[in-house]
Amino acid sequence: MSTPLIFDHRAVRLHRDRAARRQAEVLPILQAATDHLIDRLDDMARPFATALDIGGRGLVCRALAQRGISTVALDISAPQAALSDAPALCSDLETLPFAAHSFDLVTACLSLHWVNDLPGLFAQIRHILRPDGLFLASLPILPTLGPLRKALETAELAVSDGVSPRVSPLPTQQSCAHLMQRAGFALPVVDSDVLDLRYRTLGALMADLRAAGETNALALRPRGMTPRMLFPAATAMLEDTDEGSFAMPLHMAVLSGWAPAPTQPKPLAPGQFQHNLGEYLADGA
C-alpha cells in the first residue's frame, strides 16, 4: 500500500530554505523548544557517543556538542543543514541514508511533522539505533494553531462557498504514543510540554510561521488567489480581545524510546507478580 501524499516536500524544502535566512526572528522560540528537549537527555544516566540530529536547525547539534556527543545533522533543506557545526547531510526524511546500528542517539526537535510516512520513519529510526540506543524527539500536537485554524475556516465560510486546507494537520499525544509502540521501541514514554506564546496581530503570527518554515505545505493547499477578505475577517476574529493580544500556545509531545536490547528491564508477564495490590490498599485504608 502506497503512503498517502499529505505534504508537498518541495514546498517544505523551500519553506525551510527561506527559514534558514530568517531564523534569528524566531530564535527565542526555537531555542526554548530545543532546551525543553535536551533537558530530557540530561535525565539519562546512559552516556551517548554518536548521534543523528534530524532537522535541529543547528541548535540541537550545538547542545549535543556541549555534552561531548559526536553528531551528524540531517535536513531536507541544504541551508538548514549548513547551520550545524557538524557533518551534515541534505536528504529526504522519508528514507534515512544510514546503515543499521549506526548511532547511540537520534534526536528530532519539531522537525518530523511534515513527514508523510511517520510510522515508516519511526521504524527506520529504530533500525539505525544501536541496541539500547535512544530516540528523543518533540512534535507539535493538537491543539497547536487551533485558534488560527478556526478563525480561517470561519472567515472563509463567510466570504466564499467552502473551506480550503490552510493549516497543517497535527497528531495528538495519544497518536504519538501509538507510533512509538507500533515502531517497536522499548520503554516508550510520551508526555507533553507547552510554550505559552501570545501575539498582538495575525500578521505577527504569520511572520513567525514564515520565519520558522511552518507555513502551509499541504499537497492539497489552495493554489489560486486567496479571497480578498479572508485575512481581514480572520484578523477581526483573532484580535477581538480585551487584552490586546491573543494566545497561540505551542503544544508539544516529547517522545523517548529505546532500541530493544537484552539488558533492558522487562515487564512481568501476567501471573508473575509476588504481591497483591489489594493487600497494600487494604493496609493503607
Q: Where are the alpha helices (DSSP H) in the chain?
A: 9-22, 27-41, 59-65, 78-81, 118-128, 146-159, 173-183, 202-211, 230-239, 277-284
Q: Is the pLDDT confidence value at 275 over 80?
A: no
Q: Which triple of cell numbers denotes residue 28?
A: 527565542
Average pLDDT over residues 72-94: 95
The C-alpha angle with vertex 209 and arms to 207 and 213, in degrees rounded to 5, equals 115
Angle at 214 between CA 142 and CA 194, to 5 degrees: 40
Count CB neighbours of 235 within 10 A: 17
At 269 the pLDDT is 65
pLDDT > 90: percent of the chain: 81
Examine the pLDDT at 270 and tell me if it is beyond 70: no
Q: Rounded CA gap, 159 and 195, in Å?
A: 33
The whole-number pLDDT of residue 277 equals 63
What is the structure's pLDDT at 203?
95
Q: What percent of the chain has pLDDT over 70?
A: 93
Angle at 157 between CA 154 and CA 159, to 5 degrees: 110
Q: Residue 267 pLDDT > 70, yes or no?
A: no
> What is the per-residue pLDDT for 224?
84
Look up the pTM and report it: 0.90
pLDDT over threshold 80, residue 210 = yes
Flag whether pLDDT at 126 surpasses 90: yes
Rounded to whole angstroms, what are the CA distances from 63 to 213, 221, 253, 285? 21, 36, 20, 48
- Predicted local confidence at residue 246, as pLDDT: 93
Q: Please give the grid coordinates belonging to residue 42.
A: 540530561
Structural domains of the chain sorted by starting position, each given as residue range(s) with its CATH number in brackets: 9-260 (3.40.50.150)
Q: What span, in angstroms and rounded, lies between the C-alpha atoms of 204 and 259? A: 41
pLDDT beyond 80 at 259:
yes
> Mean pLDDT of all residues in the chain?
92
Q: What is the DSSP letter of 42?
A: T
pLDDT at 221 > cutoff 80? yes
pLDDT at 284: 58
d(CA 154, CA 269): 51
